[in-house]
């Protein structure tokens, strides 16, 4: 008994020296997919996007409704979904750098240029447009980089990206950051509760915008980072939204509920210089994602948001893995292969027979956005040549 007590005391003392955010489970060993297998998977995903592009150059639609559809006031909510999904698909095709996608990218660019400026708040309570502005920025700055040999075209794209930054300013929550519902006062400056994951996605996009030369107000970033800090627990779980600070240990706010949000929150804060997000924390949360992937995956493809354990919604799955890929990219090159192998192993196993990936039945938007997230994730899993 004395030996057991001593062993337990030593183990507990060791845990006390490791910060809470750096602890956690490790995934079981796997055989990492070969580069050729990842490339084949990417090619199948690209072919899916190419064959499902709409005639007007966009992706997705309001078709394929089901018995239970999420709150989506027409037409504004669908303008937002349509724009965000098309931006993601264009960004994914550019990242894969396949020559066969060039025409599809041009058609997608033309649609974005014509349609992004019209995306607005659908009604006082619905702010899905925040997603469109964020992912629109990412697509536009990458398109601008694609046209460095055509300065007028590049400048037009950067100007449109600047307008999307202004839209994020306009629809910023009164508390800083962004949410996509305002069920409160319905004020002109949204009274939305900023969600950690929407805010993280916007911060990542704004970082890309500033790197491309687009003006991003410091105050906009600082206020967003402030709400992220208020929503971050000592173990680096992130609350679902700022109003959840009154019940921080609700199921949705526990580590199992934050597996996807923590990837997005960590990389967003890291990109903007938050030194609290160390390599050790990035690694710990990547390990959590891979070791406990079923807590996130068990919510995938369920038609009712938040019905799974830890109140996980299906649409966090490929979102979370995309930001996990960005976390891997932020690590030193020598530390990446282990995590790249685990991420690729998960994504290759979930690819559909038609080459797509999807996690939540959202009208006809789910396959394009899921495939885009997966492609951008897998591209970051390719081993060094």
285-316 pLDDT, tens digit per residue, is 999 999 999 999 999 999 999 999 999 999 99
- Residue 15's pLDDT is 52
What are 241's strand-pairing partners? 195
Does the pTM surpass 0.85? The reply is yes
- Residue 384's pLDDT is 84
Q: What angle do CA 101, 103, 106 make, to 5 degrees?
A: 110
Q: What parts of the chain have a pLDDT lower than 70?
A: 1-16
What's the CA gap between 377 and 350, in Å, rounded? 13
Residue 273, SS3 per DSSP: coil
- Domains of the chain: residue spans and CATH: 40-379 (1.50.10.20)
First to last CA, the chain: 54
- Residue 67's pLDDT is 79
Q: What angle do CA 62, 67, 68 make, to 5 degrees?
A: 75
For residue range 328-383, list pLDDT tens digits in order.
Answer: 999 999 999 999 999 999 999 999 999 999 999 999 999 999 999 999 999 999 99
- Residue 106's pLDDT is 98
- Residue 385's pLDDT is 72
- Residue 34's pLDDT is 98
Q: Which of 233, 374, 240, 373 is nearest to 313 (CA)?
A: 240
Eight-state DSSP code of residue 183: -
Torsion angle (degrees, nearest 10) of CA 41, 87, 263, 259: -80
Burial class (CB in 10 A: 0-12, 13-18, 19+), 218: exposed
- Residue 155's pLDDT is 98
- Residue 69's pLDDT is 84
What's the CA gap between 241 and 195, in Å, rounded? 4
Q: What is the helix, strand, coil percentage profile of the chain, to 5? A: 60, 0, 35
- Using CA of residue 191, residue 196, residue 201, residue 206, what is the dihedral sign? positive
Eight-state DSSP code of residue 219: H
With b for 16 or more beta-carbon neighbours within 10 A and e for fewer, the 9-36 pattern comes to: eeeeeeeeeeeebbebeebeeeebbeee
- Residue 378's pLDDT is 99
């Amino acid at each position: 008994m004395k030996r057991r007590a001593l062993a337990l005391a030593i183990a507990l003392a060791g845990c006390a020296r490791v910060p809470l955010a750096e602890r956690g489970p490790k995934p079981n060993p796997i055989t990492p997919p070969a580069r050729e297998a990842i490339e084949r998977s990417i090619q199948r995903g690209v072919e899916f996007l190419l064959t499902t592009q709409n005639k007007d150059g966009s992706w997705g639609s309001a078709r394929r409704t089901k018995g239970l559809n999420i709150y989506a006031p027409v037409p504004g909510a669908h303008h937002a979904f349509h724009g965000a999904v098309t931006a993601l698909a264009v960004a994914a095709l550019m990242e894969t750098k396949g020559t066969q996608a060039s025409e599809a990218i041009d058609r997608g660019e033309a649609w974005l240029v014509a349609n992004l400026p019209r995306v607005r708040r659908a009604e006082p309570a619905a702010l899905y447009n925040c997603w469109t502005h964020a992912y629109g920025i990412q697509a536009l700055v990458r398109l601008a980089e694609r046209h460095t040999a055509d300065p007028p075209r590049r400048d037009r794209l950067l100007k449109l990206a600047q307008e999307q930054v202004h839209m994020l300013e306009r629809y910023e929550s009164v508390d800083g950051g962004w949410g996509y519902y305002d069920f409160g006062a319905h004020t002109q400056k949204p009274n939305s509760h900023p969600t950690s994951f929407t805010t993280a996605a916007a911060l990542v996009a704004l970082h890309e915008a500033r790197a491309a030369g687009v003006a991003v107000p410091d105050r906009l970033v600082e206020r967003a980072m402030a709400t992220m800090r208020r929503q971050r627990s000592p173990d680096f779980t992130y609350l679902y939204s700022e109003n959840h600070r009154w019940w921080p240990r609700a199921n949705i706010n526990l580590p199992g509920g934050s597996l996807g949000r923590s990837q997005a929150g960590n990389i967003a804060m890291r990109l903007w210089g938050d030194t609290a997000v160390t390599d050790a924390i990035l690694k710990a949360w990547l390990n959590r994602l891979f070791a406990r992937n079923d807590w996130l995956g068990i919510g995938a493809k369920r038609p009712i948001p938040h019905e799974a354990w830890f109140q996980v919604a299906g649409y966090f799955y490929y979102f979370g893995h995309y930001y996990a890929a960005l976390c891997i990219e932020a690590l030193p090159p020598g530390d990446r292969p282990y995590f790249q192998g685990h991420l690729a192993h998960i994504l290759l196993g979930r690819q559909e027979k038609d080459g797509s990936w999807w996690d939540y039945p959202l009208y006809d938007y789910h396959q394009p956005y899921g495939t885009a997230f997966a492609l951008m994730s897998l591209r970051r899993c390719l081993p060094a040549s």
